[in-house]
Amino acid sequence: MDKISHLIDLNDFTPAQWNSIVTLAHEIMSAPMVYAGACRGKIMGTLFYEPSTRTQMSFQTAMLRLGGGIIGFDNPSTSSVAKGENLKDTTKIVSGYSDILVMRHPLEGASKAAALTADCHVINAGDGGHLHPTQTLTDLLTLREEKGSLSDLTVGFCGDLKNGRTVHSLLKALSCFAGNHFILVSTPELKVPMYIKDYISASGKSYEEYTSLEEAIPKLNVLYMTRIQRERFGSLEEYEQQKNVYCLDERKMRLAKKDMIVMHPLPRVDEIAIPVDDDPRAMYFKQANYGMYVRMALILSMLDYGLESKPLLSGKVMNTVSCTNPKCITHTEKYLPHSFRRSGDVLECEYCDERILI
Ligand code: ASP
Ligand code: CP
């Protein structure tokens, strides 16, 4: 195989590369049959340690539509993970059977850990509450198709901004385009993590934080609603306090601009009332459909067009230092090198981005 590239964080590629993937997705949408045999003979492995409808099935459909084949599991308990096999060995084996591996895992940094030993390209399909870069490619395609631009947008994010990995990845990506401004709507408990806010500021973009969706909605070009991520809470009680705080309904939609679009990575629970589905500004079902085309473009770009990515680890290995994030993959996969980027008095874990003061 030629040089292996990985997509763990969208920033592994440049904005010019994201644009070329989105442009290719647009071309595939307009002439899908041209690409029907483009990946004949190639195999994609999908390792889903966490539930999924859209990501798993859109990746699988994408590969099948390109003429390739698929293997994998959607429930680790039916694989040898149930016998205690570690991530390294599972990845090593399945990457030997595949040309491209797509992984979703509940722990942060798991895809990066897998990529360290994989013998083929690895794509992060969601690592805990950390990142979800292929959802972001889907979101960028949706914005380009439906708003005509990735710049000069006021984008509102509402819901679980702490644990919502789609929010983290999209904020990082949209920070790279000129003139974007972000309005972050959440309860105090579920605010965007500091490292993402610092990223926005370092990119020269601005954000405001609100607790009221009614106050924020009239200002927005795009509203990105999210589900409260029940599976990331320490207790059911904490989740119960947060659920149902925000619900986008027809009354709130009347406060919005006539051309504001509503996006949502889905699944929806109660945060968007069903009647909103009939509003022409509701874009979430179309958005999910764009996901399949963008994944076709991504697979093609990685397998056939030799897209180059950044190195997986660029910091310093310090095995005597432990990441302080209990959800970091380094705590369960103990053989992993503890690798950190240093920024002043702070070490940043290269798997989960947790900051450790030294
Ligand atoms: N499906 C998205 C994810 O896996 C959003 C969500 O689950 O709420 O991150
Ligand atoms: N948007 C998304 O990732 O959906 P699934 O969790 O169903 O894959």
Q: Which atom of ligand 2 is nearest to the CA of 53?
A: 7
Range 212-217 average pLDDT: 98
Question: Across the chain, what does the average pLDDT equal?
Answer: 97
Supply the pLDDT for residue 3: 77
Active site residue 132: yes
Q: How many domains is the chain built from?
A: 3
Pairing between strand 100-105 and 43-48?
A: parallel
Distance (Å, whole) CA 239 – CA 232: 9
Q: Does any domain span residue 95? A: yes
Supply the pLDDT for residue 304: 86
Q: Which of 63-67, 291-295, 336-340, 341-345 bottoms out in mean pLDDT, i.e. has the lowest?
A: 341-345
Q: Does any domain span residue 141? A: no
Range 343-352 average pLDDT: 95
Mark whether 284 and 298 lie in a shared domain: no
Compute the distance from residue 153 Cα to the ligand 1 centre, in Å.
Answer: 23
Percent of the chain having pLDDT more than 70? Answer: 99
Pocket test for ligand 2, best of 48, 54, 136 (most atoms within 8 A of CB): 54
Q: Which atom of ligand 1 is nearest to the CA of 165?
A: 9
Mark whether 82 and 105 lie in a shared domain: yes
Q: What is the DSSP letter of 260?
A: -
Pocket test for ligand 1, best of 46, 135, 166 (most atoms within 8 A of CB): 166
Distance (Å, whole) CA 349 – CA 358: 12
Burial 4-33 (b: 16+ CB within 10 A, else e): ebbbbbbbbbeeebbebbbebbbebbeeee
Active site residue 258: no
Q: Which atom of ligand 1 is nearest to the CA of 229?
A: 8
User: Please, what's the largest Cα pairwise distance for the chain?
Assistant: 56
Q: 3-class DSSP state for residue 101?
A: strand
Active site residue 295: no
| β-bridge mates for residue 126, sequence order | none
Mark whether 194 and 220 lie in a shared domain: yes
Distance (Å, whole) CA 338 – CA 37: 42
Domain housing 179:
149-288
Q: Which of 42, 54, 112, 181 is catalytic?
A: 54
Mark whether 51 and 126 lie in a shared domain: yes
Supply the pLDDT for residue 220: 98
- Residue 321: CA count within 13 A, CB half-sphere: 21
Q: 3-class DSSP state for residue 31?
A: coil
- Which ligand has an atom closest to residue 284 CA? 2
Residues 158 and 185 sit within 8 Å (Cβ to Cβ):
yes
Supply the pLDDT for residue 305: 78
pLDDT digits (tens, 9 = 90+) for 152-175: 999 999 999 999 999 999 999 999
Residue 1 above 90 pLDDT?
A: no
Residue list, ligand 1 pocket, CB within 6 Å? 126, 132, 165-166, 227, 229, 265, 267
Selected residue with higher pLDDT from 298 and 343: 298
Q: Does any domain span residue 330? A: yes
CATH number at residue 217: 3.40.50.1370
Mark whether 167 and 278 lie in a shared domain: yes
Range 118-140 average pLDDT: 97
Pairing between strand 355-357 and 346-349?
A: antiparallel
- Residue 130: CA count within 13 A, CB half-sphere: 28
pLDDT digits (tens, 9 = 90+) for 299-343: 999 998 778 888 999 999 999 999 999 999 999 999 999 999 998
Active site residue 83: yes
Range 268-273 average pLDDT: 97
Q: For residue 177, what are the CA distances in angstroms to 19, 117, 170, 174?
A: 11, 33, 11, 6
Compute the distance from residue 245 Cα to the ligand 1 centre, in Å.
Answer: 18
Supply the pLDDT for residue 308: 85
Active site residue 104: yes
- Residue 175: CA count within 13 A, CB half-sphere: 21
* pTM (two decimals): 0.97
Q: Does any domain span residue 204? A: yes
The single-letter code of the amino acid at 216 is A
Mark whether 57 and 179 lie in a shared domain: no
Supply the pLDDT for residue 2: 60
Compute the distance from residue 162 Cα to the ligand 1 centre, in Å.
Answer: 13
